[in-house]
Chains A and B, each alone.
Chain A
């Protein structure tokens, strides 16, 4: 862990359980006993496939769960106080000012009917309602400049459909920064972008993190992005954290077979491997999770024991946790 350990973390999620229920159906546990912390100025990446619960984790933190979703256990402490006990209004007041969010689809995350400047101004006015219209507009353009949008004055007057995906994502970041938040949650912010734009957006987020000391939760399914941006990584599978380590540790000594699988499925420039190895099978249906280890059906190292024993998240060494009954460190097993 970092040397901020003695301080109160910016965000501390403890044993978070989020369930979704549709009428008449059994509720589905989408986030299952998730715990982690984010320190000021730290970038924590959450990695996992679609449906692993990473986006729902972030929506739980923001208080933006869609209908049917509810937090049924655990706590979320922001700067030391549990925000789950706050009223709806108090939760709302945290958004924008203390924590804000960037979404995956820059194409759909801006209101198509409003000009860029009024969408940024909306976020500014919520935090500083006393400012004059002129000042707010100036601030909006300043924000656009901060996210390195060329010709900010002109862009401010455009509508979202007149901008490219990368530009829209910059606008989204500008909106997220409007309230000067201490925590930024980026939910797959680069997934919908081409590689060059992706690199620019990543650099921008990293730069804002360094400059303003903003804590960042960076959600992605792409390990190569993680290597680029994160200080610490949580790997999620079927609603649970299966491995948690510093980015260096994770790439050097991955312990969970799922993490290893993700790495083998990742293209690299210098590897000699001709073919990528996908992880066989699909992510489990959360309504019908296998008994024992959730990764068991897809795990090349699985044993009889994995079928029944539900693995706990345990600490292998300081700062490196894994949810596997026989992680790599304790001897590589034979593939099935």
Chain B
């Protein structure tokens, strides 16, 4: 599959540009020397540490150094944890990815039936209700949803645990919190997409064959309306990981979100770089997967 090979090759320049941006941001913003030394350190102490860390080298030398280390899998050491930054990230990555995937499932399970329902019952009370709910869902910030869910389902009615990721029950509140906004967005999209497809002539063709309406909707309308939905999932997944940072804080979720937050607070730049790099890599992979799903779904898109 020449297409796949080319897409994989295209990842390399994207990653190079990405590392440059991450490095430049940290180069401009971070000052690890003043973070690492006590406040009363002398200018001489500072100069010694700067040289020891190689921070006196010019930008491009430092970047190449950074790039070389990265290729060897060395993303630097966390000042705070005194552990390799990449390990800190990978240890927690699974928790964040699981949370994001659960949230995505929540969004899919809510939005697809609701979106189809709203489209089939266009301009009825049901449609307005669904549209109303999705506007509200999109308008609520997820930290607030999280706090409300905790209040209702953990404090007033203690059904679900509040913090940690130890059992399947622990997943319920955080994934709903994270998934609601995406569900709202996707509901509107599924509705619009179904409405567009249902007007297509091939749907009338299916009906003219004497096909049952439920199969007409399931086979002809739904499958065709999935294409834009796949796109939005691909675009939204990285944002979901971004949202996870907030949700993880609310639910004390042991993912990279909380790690990133503390790393930023303490200017633990090696960890920040490692996290940004990993999230960007996930974005690139998700885009690639979206593209492949696209091609599987829609035979009109060619592989070469």
Seen from chain A, the residues whose Cβ lies within 8 Å of a Cβ on chain B are 23, 62, 64, 66-67, 92-97, 100-101, 103-105, 108-113, 119, 122-123, 126-127, 159, 161, 172, 175-176, 178-179
Q: Given A97, A159, A175, which contacts B205 in the complex, CB threshold below 8 Å?
A: A175
Kindly report which residue of chain B lies nearest to residue A120, judged by CB atoms.
Answer: B209
Smallest beta-carbon distance B4→chain A, Å:
21
Q: Is B223 positioned at the interface, with any CB of A under 8 Å from its CB?
A: yes
Cα–Cα, bound, A334→B25 (Å) = 86
Q: Assess A109 versus B205: contact at CB under 8 Å? Given A67-B122, A93-B210.
A: yes
Q: Which residues of B contact A103 (CB under 8 A)?
A: 201, 204-205
Smallest beta-carbon distance B44→chain A, Å:
71
Q: How many residues in B have their beta carbons less than 8 Å from beta carbons of A?
A: 23
Q: Assess A92 versus B205: contact at CB under 8 Å? Given A113-B223, A159-B299, A161-B299.
A: no
Q: Given A23, A62, A127, which contacts B123 in the complex, CB threshold below 8 Å?
A: A23
Q: Which residues of A contact B206 (CB under 8 A)?
A: 111, 122
Cα–Cα, bound, A178→B208 (Å) = 11
Q: Which residues of B contact A111 (CB under 8 A)?
A: 202, 205-206, 220, 224
Most buried by A among B199, B200, B208, B298: B208
Smallest beta-carbon distance B126→chain A, Å:
14
Q: Is B98 positioned at the interface, with any CB of A under 8 Å from its CB?
A: no
A108 and B202 contacting across the interface, CB-CB below 8 Å:
yes
Kindly report which residue of chain B lies nearest to residue A97, judged by CB atoms.
Answer: B210
Q: Which residues of B contact A175 (CB under 8 A)?
A: 205, 209
Cα–Cα, bound, A171→B211 (Å) = 17
Q: Is B300 positioned at the interface, with any CB of A under 8 Å from its CB?
A: yes
B209 and A100 contacting across the interface, CB-CB below 8 Å:
yes
B208 and A96 contacting across the interface, CB-CB below 8 Å:
yes
Q: How many A-B residue pairs have CB under 8 A?
A: 77
B208 and A101 contacting across the interface, CB-CB below 8 Å:
yes
Smallest beta-carbon distance A100→chain B, Å:
6
Q: Which residues of A contact B1 (CB under 8 A)?
A: none
Kindly report which residue of chain A lies nearest to residue B200, judged by CB atoms.
Answer: A108
Nearest 10 pairs between A and B by C-beta? A96-B210, A95-B210, A123-B209, A109-B201, A159-B299, A101-B208, A111-B202, A108-B201, A96-B209, A161-B300
Q: Is B46 positioned at the interface, with any CB of A under 8 Å from its CB?
A: no
Other A-B pairs beyond A96-B210, A101-B208, A110-B205, 16, CB < 8 Å: A64-B204, A92-B213, A93-B210, A96-B208, A100-B208, A103-B201, A103-B205, A108-B202, A112-B299, A112-B300, A113-B298, A126-B211, A127-B210, A175-B205, A178-B209, A179-B209
Smallest beta-carbon distance A69→chain B, Å:
13
Cα–Cα, bound, A149→B123 (Å) = 44
Q: Is B212 positioned at the interface, with any CB of A under 8 Å from its CB?
A: yes
A-B residue pairs in contact (CB < 8 Å), sample of 22:
A23-B123, A96-B210, A96-B211, A97-B210, A103-B201, A105-B201, A108-B202, A109-B201, A109-B204, A110-B202, A111-B205, A111-B206, A111-B224, A112-B224, A112-B299, A113-B223, A113-B224, A122-B206, A122-B209, A126-B210, A161-B299, A179-B210
Kindly report which residue of chain A lies nearest to residue B202, judged by CB atoms.
Answer: A111
Cα–Cα, bound, A179→B213 (Å) = 18
B123 and A95 contacting across the interface, CB-CB below 8 Å:
no
Q: Which residues of A contact B210 (CB under 8 A)?
A: 92-97, 123, 126-127, 179
Kindly report which residue of chain A lies nearest to residue B299, judged by CB atoms.
Answer: A159
Smallest beta-carbon distance B215→chain A, Å:
9
Smallest beta-carbon distance A218→chain B, Å:
16
Q: Which residues of A contact B220 (CB under 8 A)?
A: 111
Cα–Cα, bound, A171→B287 (Å) = 36
Q: Which residues of B contact A101 (CB under 8 A)?
A: 204, 208
A95 and B207 contacting across the interface, CB-CB below 8 Å:
yes
Q: Is B297 positioned at the interface, with any CB of A under 8 Å from its CB?
A: yes
Q: Which residues of B contact A23 (CB under 8 A)?
A: 123
Chain A proximity mask over B145-158: 1 for CB below 8 Å, otherwise 0: 00000000000000
Cα–Cα, bound, A238→B213 (Å) = 32
Cα–Cα, bound, A172→B209 (Å) = 11
Q: Which residues of A contact B211 (CB under 8 A)?
A: 92, 96, 122, 126
Q: Assess A95 versus B208: contact at CB under 8 Å? Given A67-B122, A113-B299.
A: yes
Q: Which residues of A contact B209 (CB under 8 A)?
A: 95-96, 100, 122-123, 126, 175, 178-179
Q: Which residues of B contact A119 (CB under 8 A)?
A: 205
Chain A proximity mask over B220-263: 1 for CB below 8 Å, otherwise 0: 10011000000000000000000000000000000000000000
B202 and A159 contacting across the interface, CB-CB below 8 Å:
no
Q: Given B201, B205, B297, which contacts A113 in the complex, CB threshold below 8 Å?
A: B297
Smallest beta-carbon distance A127→chain B, Å:
7
Q: Given A64, A67, A104, A113, which contacts B208 in the complex, CB threshold below 8 Å?
A: A64
Q: Which residues of B contact A110 (CB under 8 A)?
A: 202, 205
A62 and B208 contacting across the interface, CB-CB below 8 Å:
yes
Q: Which residues of A contact B298 (CB under 8 A)?
A: 112-113
Q: Which residues of A contact B299 (CB under 8 A)?
A: 112-113, 159, 161
Smallest beta-carbon distance B11→chain A, Å:
29
A176 and B208 contacting across the interface, CB-CB below 8 Å:
yes
Cα–Cα, bound, A330→B205 (Å) = 45
